[in-house]
Amino acid sequence: MPRFRYRALRATGGEFEGELLAADEHEAASHLQDEGSYPLEIAPARAAARVATRPRGSRTIPSRELMLFTRQMAALLGAGVAPDRALSLIAEDRTQGRRARLAVALHASVERGESLSRALAASGAIPQHYVALVAAGEAQGDLGVAFERLAALVERNRAIGQSLVNALIYPASVLVVACLSISFLLGFVVPRFSALVEGFRAAPPLSLRFLLALATVFQDGSLPALVLAFAAVVWFAARRRDPAFRVASARRLLALPHVGALLAKVESERMTLLVGTMIEAGVALPAALAAARAAAGNSALALGLAEAERAVERGERLTRALAAADAVPALTLELVRVGEETGELPAMLLKASDILRREIEATAGQWIALVAPVSLVVLGLIVGLIALALFGTVLDAYDIAS
């Protein structure tokens, strides 16, 4: 009997690996599911090295494509279409790009007898929480509901990201225009006035002298500054491979005034939404925390969630575990405590997520309302002062000539 190596998700949370004997991959998956585990990846033992070294996240599907794929699957499964038929329908439309290629790969795996959750895990393009929710839907015999939950989850996460991007687009575009305008003036316009002021009988205006000195510094130092900036980016990217450095950088980012608080709210909103949705779908709390930890974008908060996951596995209450890990705001902790006391933990987690979402959107709106006019005023003042200094020099030259 052949030997298979597997990677699975415990019912109590956390991943584990091992080997077992089975007639085929389908029997191995059934054995793991009978033990209450969620198979993520199964391969013959001789291919174990390839399974272990597969690049994780290197082929992650974009959030928009994942959202559309999930919504398509939810609509088709909700209409009573079988999963393999739903995948084949999505795969037939070659104009869908990544979605069609993902559907082709999943359909081939399902046709071989694999479960959809195992096929999603083996694709390497799907987040852990997505796989866990699909596995829970398979266990309950209702994939349509599972994909409806996933569609709402993916759309919600994308909406939060879009609101933050929209808040940053305008000030970022103004900053880019300001840098380009100032670089053009200091690099090409101001230096042309150096020959003009040589004919002055008196010293040129102080503003022009300052601009000429600044233009000289800009021309002499722009290239070394670019080289240093590139070297700093390369150094930071290399240091990011160190987990301790990532955690330290994440903690410094969270300590920034205003920005850190907003990032903490974004991560907490994602965590409460994921955990609440997964518990509501029947996933065990430790497994939900493990999936939320894998989806966290901040290494320091992910470390806190890992500590909370271990505490919950030891039998501690979620409120105490999150408080000890310092992973969520105080209001969220209070709602979690109420949910545990009333037995409505999923509902309270989702309520906390709604509150955090409204706070994030309100903060993003305030930033747009404040930063947009301030950016315009600052850009106008800088360019206006440079233009005024140059125009004054032209007038002085006209007086001398006349």
pLDDT in tens, 306-325: 888 888 888 888 888 888 87
18: nearest Cα among 1, 36, 50, 41:
41
Give the chain's residues under pLDDT 50.
Answer: 47-58
| Res 1: pLDDT | 57
Does the structural domain 156-402 have CATH classification 1.20.81.30?
Answer: yes
Burial of 44 (0-12, 13-18, 19+ CB in 10 A): middle
Superfamily of domain 63-155 in CATH is Type II secretion system (T2SS), domain F (1.20.81.30)
| Res 94: pLDDT | 66
| Res 161: pLDDT | 75
- The reported pTM is 0.67
**Are the CB atoms for 64 and 31 separated by under 8 Å?**
no
Residues of the chain with CATH 1.20.81.30: 63-155, 156-402
Q: Fill in the amino acid letter for 283.
A: V
How far apart, in whole angstroms, are the C-alpha atoms of residue 122 and residue 362?
39
| Res 54: pLDDT | 41
| Res 201: pLDDT | 58
**Are the CB atoms for 305 and 293 separated by under 8 Å?**
yes
| 3-state secondary structure at position 329 | coil
